[in-house]
Amino acid sequence: MINQKYKKLILERRTISLFEKKVFERAIVTPPFKYPNLAPEKACFFYILEGSVNSHSEEEYFHIKENEGVLMKCGNYIYERLPSNETGKCEIVAIYLYPDVLKKIYEKEIPSFLKNKKQLSTRFNMAHVKSNILIKKYIEGISFYFENPYLINEELLILKFKEIILLLLNTKDAPTIIEIMHNLYSPRSFSFKEVIEAHVFSSLTVSDLAQLTNRSLARFNREFKKTYKDSPANYLKDKRLDRAAELLVISNEPIASIAYDCQFNNISHFSSSFKAKYKISPSKYRLNQIQK
């Protein structure tokens, strides 16, 4: 369920159900809109019509632009919707892949990705689906039914469901998608440290990391302290400062750009934090390293 904080940002939301499950959804929101998507019982495909999305799994990150999509197997995710430069809005179509819905759809002939006899290796939780004219036209067709729900029937929805799966399996990203399809409902297990180390340089907050590790904030902080002998805030800041120091030497990027890339959104805060750690300003640090 979406809580009241997020509901205020939703401008429009329409859904289509099949076998009493919400399977298609279109939502238009006013970003910034960062939302935890804990999906232990379903996989999903998101397609971006307007704006963009930062999608984080326990170990992966994708930036999804307009007319692109992301296929996600069941698991824990954080996604951040970003606004279109033109309208300030973000519009997404979602297709939810429930195992019981898929089995009903394919009850006469079960496809290989629903059979559990021989699963492929499970290296990925997400697949970035690049722009594709066939999928774009498919999404346009689904959007028509959101506007004309009286034209929808069960037989048509079953056909549309099978169609998107066939389209995904025939994209240039097919190898990763086939792997994910074979393991839709077999989420990978990640250690606490794997999740942390994968997102040290991401924009995720400590609360977001707690969500991805499936822990309360209090439990997350306790386990972090036990594992790293430091608080999450101090550890992340220290790692990001180390990365900034490295980039100051090997990159010609402006100091402000490096600060931003290392998740310091305030240049004054970055400069003071850098000086506290290295006893010298970022600009002097860069100059000294170049002169060596």
Residues 177, 130: Cα–Cα separation, whole Å: 12
φ and ψ of 128, to 5 deg: -85, 115
**What pLDDT, on the 0 to 100 scale, is given for residue 180?**
80
Q: What is the pLDDT of residues 25-37, one digit of tens each?
A: 999 988 877 777 7
Cβ atoms 96, 27 nearer than 8 A: no
Q: 60: part of which helix (H) or strand (E)?
A: none
DSSP-derived letter for residue 276 is H
Q: Name the burial class of residue 46, with classes exposed (0-12), middle (13-18) and buried (19+) by CB atoms within 10 angstroms of its CB.
A: buried
DSSP 8-state symbol, 171: S
- Name the class of domain 4-182: mainly beta
Position 108 pLDDT exceeds 80: no
Q: How many CA atoms lie within 13 A of 261 on its CB side?
A: 14
Task: Tell me the pLDDT tens digit for each residue of 65-92.
Answer: 999 999 988 778 888 889 999 999 999 9
H/E stretch holding 176 reads helix 174-182
- Report, as an integer, the average pLDDT of 286-291: 79
> The pTM is what?
0.80
Answer yes or no: is pLDDT of 116 > 90: no
Task: Please give the residue that has the higher pLDDT: either 35 or 218.
Answer: 218
Return the structure tokens found at 12.
Answer: 């429009």
Residue 114 has a pLDDT of 59
What value, to the nearest 5°, has the Cα angle with vertex 128 and ends 123 and 133?
Answer: 140
When the pLDDT of each residue in the chain is averaged and rounded to a whole number, the result is: 86
pLDDT score for 1: 47
**Which architecture does CATH list for 230-291?**
Orthogonal Bundle (1.10)
Domain boundaries, the chain: 4-182, 230-291
pLDDT at residue 121 above 70? no
CA–CA separation, 138 and 174 (whole Å):
17
